[in-house]
Amino acid sequence: MQGVFVNGVDQGTFNGIRTPAYNGPPPRGYSNSPVKDLNSIDMRCNVLGDNQVPHTIKVAPGDNITLDWHHNNRTIADDVIDFSHHGPALVYLTPDPPTENSFVKIWEKGLYELGPTPFSPGKWATTWDIKANNGLMNFRIPANLKAGFYLIRAEMVGLHEADARFDQNSRRGAQFYPNCVQIEVVGDGTVELPEGVSFPGAYKYDDPGVHYNIYCSTERAPLAPCTDASTYKIPGQSISTVPAFTVRC
C-alpha cells in the first residue's frame, strides 16, 4: 500500500501507512513479500507493523477511504499485483493499539464470477477488481463511529498456491499481504466497535477460505483432483455480525 485518499483527497505517498520492512538489504530485499505463517505477529500489520509512524490521517465517520496499492511504483503504469495472484480483499478496523479480538471486518470482496470453463480461476477482487482499477480499494469509515485512534488493517490474499497448506508445505500455501494505516476519527460519534478477531489467530490453515483451489471455481465442475469448490468463503469474521453502522461499497 502506497497511498490513502480521504473523500478523494490524496493524503500523500506513504503517509500514515506502516510500510513493511524489507526482508533483506535493498535492492535485493522486498517490502512486498507475503506473510504465510498464520501464527506470526506479521499477520497483524506485516513486518514491523506494530511500530508507529509519524503521520496519522484524520477522518470522520462516513468518510470514503480509497487505498492505493502497487507492486513497485505509485504510477498508473504499475502492474499492482501479478495477475496470477487471484484472491479476496478485506478491510478490518481496530482501536489503536489493538487488543484481543479487536479487529472488526468492515469490508470484503472475494470471488464474484465463476470461470466459464474447467480449471479457469474466475473473477476475483485482487486481480479483476483492484488490479483492474489501478490498485484502488474503496470502503467507508462506519457512520457514527466514536472518536479516537484506530488502525485500518487492509489486505489482499493470493490463493494461487493455496491448494497446499503452508504448515504442510512451506514452499506453497496462501499468501497474505496485510498493511495498516493509522487514522484518527474525529467528531461526536457514539458507536464503539463490537468484538472482533485477533491477528494472529483469525485464520486457520484448514479454513476453507485459506486452503482452497482457485482453479475449481468454475461454472462446470472439473474432474478430480478438484472437489466442489464452486463457491468461496472469505476467511475471518463475517460482516453480517457487524452492526448496521457498517457501510459497504
- Enter the C-alpha cell of residue 38: 498464520
Residues of the domain holding 13: 1-249
Which band of pLDDT confidence, cut at 50, 70 and 90, is reported for residue 238? confident
The grid cell for 10 is: 490524496
Instruction: Of 173, 126, 132, give the one whose Cα is nearest residue 154.
Output: 126
What pLDDT, on a 0 to 100 scale, did the predictor assign at position 66?
98
**Residue 43 is inside which H or E element, if any?**
helix 42-45
Q: What is the pLDDT of residues 113-122, one digit of tens each?
A: 998 888 888 9
Under the banding of pLDDT at 50, 70 and 90, the label for residue 221 is low
Number of domains, the chain = 1
CATH code of residue 88: 2.70.50.70
pLDDT level of residue 247 (50, 70, 90 thresholds): very low
Query: What are the cell numbers at 197?
Result: 478477531
Which distant-in-sequence residues (6+ apart) come within 8 Å of 183 by Cβ?
A: 16, 56, 57, 58, 59, 141, 149, 150, 151, 152
3-state secondary structure of 52: coil
Cα-to-chain-centroid distance, residue 156: 4
**Using one digit for the tens of pLDDT, what is the confidence trace for 83-111?**
999 999 999 999 999 999 999 999 999 99
Cα angle 61, 187, 191 (rounded to 5 degrees) comes to 60
pLDDT 10s digits, 108-158: 999 999 988 888 889 999 999 999 999 999 999 999 999 999 999 999 999
User: How many angstroms separate the Cα of 22 from the Cα of each of 34, 48, 162?
Assistant: 12, 10, 24
pTM beyond 0.95: the answer is: no
Q: What's the average model confidence in pLDDT over 2-31?
A: 86
Q: pLDDT per residue over 179-220, tens digit each?
A: 999 999 999 999 999 999 999 999 999 999 999 999 888 887
> Do the beta carbons of residue 165 and residue 206 sit within 8 Å?
yes
Q: Which residue has the higher pLDDT, 230 or 164?
A: 164
- Strand pairing partners for 157? 176
